Every structure is written in structure tokens, then in C-alpha cells.
Amino acid sequence: MAKPGLTVAIIGGGIAGLMFALALSKSREDIAIDIYEAGPDFSELGAGLNLWPRVLEIMDSFGLIGELQATAGKPDHEKKMQFRKGDEPGSIIWGESPASIHGIHRGDLLKILVEHTATRCQSHFHKKIVSYEDIPHQPVILNFTDGTTATCDLLVGADGVKSSVRAYMYNQMADKLQSEGRIDDEVENVRKHAKPYWSGNIIYSSKEEARRQMIITYPISQGRFINTACVVVKDDLYGTIYDGPWAVRTTNEEVVKQYNGWDAPAQALVKLAENPMRWVVNIVLDDLPTFACGRVAIIGDAAHSMTTHQAAGAMQAVEDGYVLAALLGRPETSPGTIPLALRAYDEVRRPIAQSFQRLSRQTAQMILLDKMDGVTKETSAASVYSKETLPNKNDLLQELFQWAPKSSVVPDRDRALQIYGTMVRNSNSGFEHRLPLETVLAFSKM
């Protein structure tokens, strides 16, 4: 067997990791791909996710649309997100997304990705990374908790919001700054990104005020199941550390109590929940200074875990892998140019992903009728407020989702390729690029 042109290690076998593996396998033939998964198999927490046209465009380019339709049904271009005010008898429809959305079971999508990556990737289970060594002119060394090691030309962390790769990357950068005598604030502004933070969102909680609640629901698996999330938002807890368990089993009674007085269909839907989970939604802060350092990158939730309110988390993970794979697939990409490819990936993908993180928070505030004149918890539930103001919310909704009907990831990919090409040419001419650590430090001062 010929020696591969590149060896890539992917940490994490969820949707982000497997989608990147699939895109990478299609980008060029001489790449060896190893996927390291901490669990006993490939699995995804949660049930449903939504796919916007941007994601379906990528899936179509990989020939997956037929399989998606077989398991999730054909996309219905009339099926859009509908927004209702339902915390009173007789719900009010006040808005609709400007583009259609396609619901699918996470497990169904993961199964498709596993089948398409099985022949091109080596999978390793019960492998949790604890650290890595990125020494110039040598392979990257991966160290696992079981005492074993592995090597690669490129390490990609797709290991979720609790990412060990992100934690090690940012702790290493902070340690270097500290060793250089930087002030404590500069060091902490970098080190803080090693941790996940509480978004202030809780799913299936009965302890919060009804004024800060919403229900998100949509069909999956060709309508055989209804995915439902009862969400509570506490903005004052955004960016704090949650020390308790992130997911625990709760009771139907606990959930139902939250929605006393709500519209009858909402109450009926909540009463159908069996063995619900209570999730504390943790995120990555939306000011992460970089998604890459040296020959190590992070993608998906490891880089930009976000709240659910734009239904964009999975979409952004898929786009990460799509753009990064396109860069690595270029014929000029070699172990020596990987840092340049990662800088181009970071320059294009980070601002886009972080904009969706912020949009998601803004969307939650809009859905919860924040700053709407005359609306309090009591007046909302009692239906004593000016209903004429609700249509104005739809105008804001259209602004928040204006990207959905007409945008494409292809221009983003092409821009990343153009940036990368310029970097490679400048590198060959002896041009010096800024070090990633200097960039991170400059960003942390902004």
C-alpha cells in the first residue's frame, strides 16, 4: 500500500466528526483518516435536528439526498418554522421562517454517515484523548487516557462542547503566555476558552418562571415521531459555570406543571412526553479567538456549541467539515502547509459560526417577546396586552433568518481556497505570517 500523502486524526465520532471524515474522503485519495471515539460506538445524544437548504446543498453534493429522503421523507418546501404565542388559551401565530426546514432523527443521519465512511476510515473506540504534542517537523503525537499513543499530520477535534482538544489547545497557549511573563488578565482571557459555559438555557425544567419559556417541536422519521424540547431561558446565568450534572432523567409531571394555562395543543403535546430528559445547555463562548493552532483544529460543537434557537448548530458543524476538507484536498496541501490551510479555515469559518451563535441568542430574546411594550409574565398569560404589536415581531424574525432562503456555503469555501492559495504563494516567496498565538493575544485585547 502506498504511503498516504496526509494522515488525519479526528477526535469524536458524532455528526461533526463523521461529516468531516466523509468530506475529507471525497476530497482526495491519498489521505489516511483515523477516527477516535471515546465511547463504545458511534452515537449521538438527543433525537431530532433540522436541516436548512445550506446543509441539504452539501448533502446533495455528496450524493446523500436519496438516503436522507428514504429515512426522513422528501423535503417539503412549504414546511417552514411557525412561531406561536401559546402561553394563553388560544394561541396566536405571529411569524414564520422565510425558508423551509427538514427534520431528521440524529441517529438516522449518523447511520448514513457511518455507512459512507466505513471503507475509507479506520475507527477506534474507547479512545479518549488527554493531550497532544505538536512539535515542528515531526508528526503530531496523540496521548490517550489508556496510555496508548498515535501520530498524525493533522489533528481535528470534533469532540463536542466538552472538547478535550480545545481545552488542551487553550491551556497550552495560556501556559506559553504565562511563561513569557504576560499579565494575568491576558493569560486568563485565553485560558477561559478551555471551558464550556452555561447558556442560561434549561430544557425540561420546572423551576423557572413561565414568562421565560418556549416549546420547540417538529416531526422526524417521516412523521413517526415528534421531537419536542421545552426550553427555559435565564439570561442572567449566561456565561456562568454549571457544576451539576448536565443531563438527568425527570418525570412527565415535572414538565407538565410548567405549562399550566398554556394553549390546549401545547399542554396536550407536553403530556405525551415519556421519560423526558432535563438538559442544561452548555456552549462555547462566541468570542473564541481561534479555531486552530499549529496543526490542530477544532470543528462543530468543540468550536462553537450554541443554543438551539436558529436550528443552526448541526449546519455549522457540517459547513466546518466541508470547508476544511476542501482546503486539505488541494494538491498543494502537504504536512508542511497544513498550518496555512488551518489559518484559512479559521479566517473564513470562525466569523460565520460565531455570528450564528449570536443570532441564536437574539432569536431567543425575540421569541420570548423581550422588550415588547406592555408584556410581563402576568399580562402575557392573561392575554391583556396589545396584540397589534405581534406582527412587528415577524419583521424582526425575517431579519434574523434572512440568510436561510438564499445563502450558500459554496462562496465561503471558494473564499477560503483563495485565501489559502495566497498564503501558500506568499510562503513560497519567503513572506512571514503572524503566529497564531500572537493573533489570539491580539484578539483577546479587543
Q: What is the spatial distance between Cα 382 and Cα 208, in angstroms, rounded to a whole number?
A: 18
Measure the CA–CA gap between 49 and 29, rounded to whole angstroms: 31
Which residues make Cβ contacts (< 8 Å) with residue 446, sequence separation at least 6?
none
- The beta strands (E) that lie in 158-293 are given as 197-203, 213-220, 225-233, 247-249, 277-283, 292-293
Sheet of strand 121-125, all strands in order from the earlier edge strand to the far edge: 121-125, 31-37, 6-11, 154-157, 296-298, 292-293
H or E segment at 8?
strand 6-11
> Using one digit for the tens of pLDDT, what is the confidence trace for 360-387?
999 888 887 765 665 666 666 555 555 5
pLDDT of residue 43: 79
Angstrom distances, CA of residue 119 to CA of 44, 116, 158: 21, 7, 20
Return d(Cα 85, Cα 87) in angstroms, integer. Answer: 6
CB 95 within 8 A of CB 393: yes
Four-way CATH pick for 6-444: 3.50.50.60, 3.40.50.1860, 3.40.1260.10, 3.40.190.10: 3.50.50.60
pLDDT tens-digit readout, 123-167: 999 999 999 999 999 999 999 999 999 999 999 999 999 999 999
pLDDT digits (tens, 9 = 90+) for 262-318: 888 888 888 887 778 888 899 999 999 999 999 999 999 999 999 989 999 999 999
Closest listed residue to residue 415, CA positions, set 353, 345, 351: 345
* Cell 458524532, located at residue: 14
* pLDDT tens per residue, range 220-271: 777 777 778 888 777 788 889 998 888 888 888 888 887 777 888 888 888 8
Q: What is the mean pLDDT of the chain?
A: 86
* Residue-level pLDDT at 44: 66
CA distance 9 to 265: 48
- Give the chain's end-to-end CA distance (angstroms, integer): 50
Return the ∠ at Cα 51 (arms to 66 and 293), rounded to 5°: 110
Measured CA to CA, the distance from residue 315 to residue 286 in angstroms comes to 16
Interval 18-63: pLDDT, tens: 999 999 999 999 999 999 999 998 876 666 888 899 999 999 999 9
The mean per-residue pLDDT over the stretch 168-182 comes to 93
Q: How far is CA 329 from CA 47, 322, 340, 347, in A?
A: 33, 11, 13, 18
List b or e across 249-271, with b for residues whose CB sees 16 or more CB atoms inside 10 angstroms: ebeeeebbebbeebbeebbebbe
Q: Give the full edge-to-edge strand order of the sheet including 277-283.
A: 213-220, 225-233, 197-203, 277-283, 247-249
